[in-house]
Amino acid sequence: MDPTESNTQQIAVAVIPARYDSTRLPGKPLLLLGGKPLVLWVAERALAARTISRVIVATDDSRIMDAVEAAGFEAMMTRSDHASGSDRVAEVARGLDSGIIVNVQGDEPLIEPDTIDRAVDALIEDGEAMMATTCEMIDTAADVLSRSVVKVVMDDRGRALSFSRNPIPFPNQAVRHHGSIEAALRNEPALLFSFRKHTGLYAYRREFLLEFTGWPQSVSETAESLEQLRALERGVTIKVVEAAAPSIGVDTKNDLERVRAMMEGKMEFIA
């Protein structure tokens, strides 16, 4: 590979917000997967993306910082009172000169590097977009109905129209015919193909990120607890691209065991 060509592709910095406190999984970034802290798996996957020149773990805990630096990765200590991961990422971004900052969730050790590249590429290709994010297909009715699964609707150019914890686009005709959305999904399985799950990776233009995190919360953002709605309500263009492969966020003990089993299976397959 031509090193010059490689360098021209490395146009973004990935920042991984990693808090020690977690209601369901305290110390989550340092939980071991295959003998290695979870956050290090994320850092390795981010660094493997062709568009990423640098990876920084943004944390508020010295234990996480020590573990990251001991493994040879870069970490920065940030304030402990940030309301969101984007705010923590923005604190780091203020000291960077990269034009694109990628917020990589610190609890997704299986994220595909190509998913990161797709988000960065989408931001470059759409000059009007200030941020890009990712989505996945939904394949179960339970995910459509779950409030913890955020749904996204895009236009024909792949730009976000809306995000919601409710089922969108709402299949009104089918619901009227079958009596409820549960019955509609059960009797018309093809309806699942109209839904997309929003996944939490974001690529921002740096200057926009710094401006965005200074805006007050919007009405819809507060109602849905979705900060991306703050941008949509101000007319910001958000590009949405399909993830290269499904990823699993580690939020519970069950998620952790599921990821461990998947990693062990991959290791056995490779061996």
- Could you tell me whether strands 160-164 and 74-77 are parallel, antiparallel, or unpaired per DSSP bridges? unpaired
CA 106 to chain centre: 9
Gap between the Cα atoms of 114 and 122, Å rounded: 12
pLDDT, tens digit, 9 for 90 and up, residues 227-256: 999 999 999 999 999 999 988 889 888 889
Residue-level length of the chain: 271
Residue 25: is its pLDDT beyond 90? no
Rounded to 5 degrees, what are φ and ψ at 131? Answer: -150, 155
Q: What is the pLDDT of residue 268?
A: 40
Mean pLDDT of the region 258-264? 85
- pLDDT band for position 267 (cuts 50, 70, 90): very low
Where does the pLDDT of residue 178 fall: very low under 50, low under 70, confident under 90, or very high at 90 and above?
very high
Q: How far apart are CA 39 and CA 29, in angstroms?
A: 5
- pLDDT surpasses 90 at 7: no
User: Where do we find the tokens 């953002």?
Assistant: 221
- CA angle (196, 143, 145) in 5-degree steps: 105
Over 90: is that where the pLDDT of 260 sits? no
Take residue 21 and report the two structure tokens written for it: 């406190």
What's residue 146's pLDDT?
94
Tell me what pLDDT residue 10 has. Answer: 79
Q: Classify 11-109 by CATH class.
A: alpha beta
Query: What is the structure's pLDDT at 189?
Result: 94
Local confidence band at 266 (pLDDT 50, 70, 90 cut-offs): low
Tens digit of each residue's pLDDT (9 = 90 or more) over 43-93: 999 999 999 999 999 999 999 999 999 999 999 999 988 888 899 999 999
Query: Does 112-199+206-246 match 11-109 at the fold level?
Result: yes
Least confident of 36-45, 138-147, 196-205, 257-266: 257-266
Domain-wise residue ranges, the chain: 11-109, 112-199+206-246
Percent of the chain, pLDDT > 90?
81
Q: What is the pLDDT of residue 105?
A: 93
Give the DSSP letter of residue 194.
G
Residue 123 has pLDDT above 60, yes or no: yes
Query: Does pLDDT of 263 surpass 50?
Result: yes
- Cα–Cα distances in angstroms (integers) from residue 263 to residues 36, 42, 67, 266, in the given order: 12, 13, 21, 5
Burial of 259 (0-12, 13-18, 19+ CB in 10 A): buried
Q: Rounded to whole angstroms, how far apart are CA atoms 239 and 224?
A: 20
Q: What is the pLDDT of residue 23?
A: 72
CATH superfamily of 112-199+206-246: Spore Coat Polysaccharide Biosynthesis Protein SpsA; Chain A (3.90.550.10)
What's the mean pLDDT in 195-219?
96
Q: Report how far Cα 8 is from the mean position of its chain's Cα atoms.
A: 24
Output the pLDDT for position 234.
96
Span 183-199, mean pLDDT? 96
pLDDT value for 85: 87
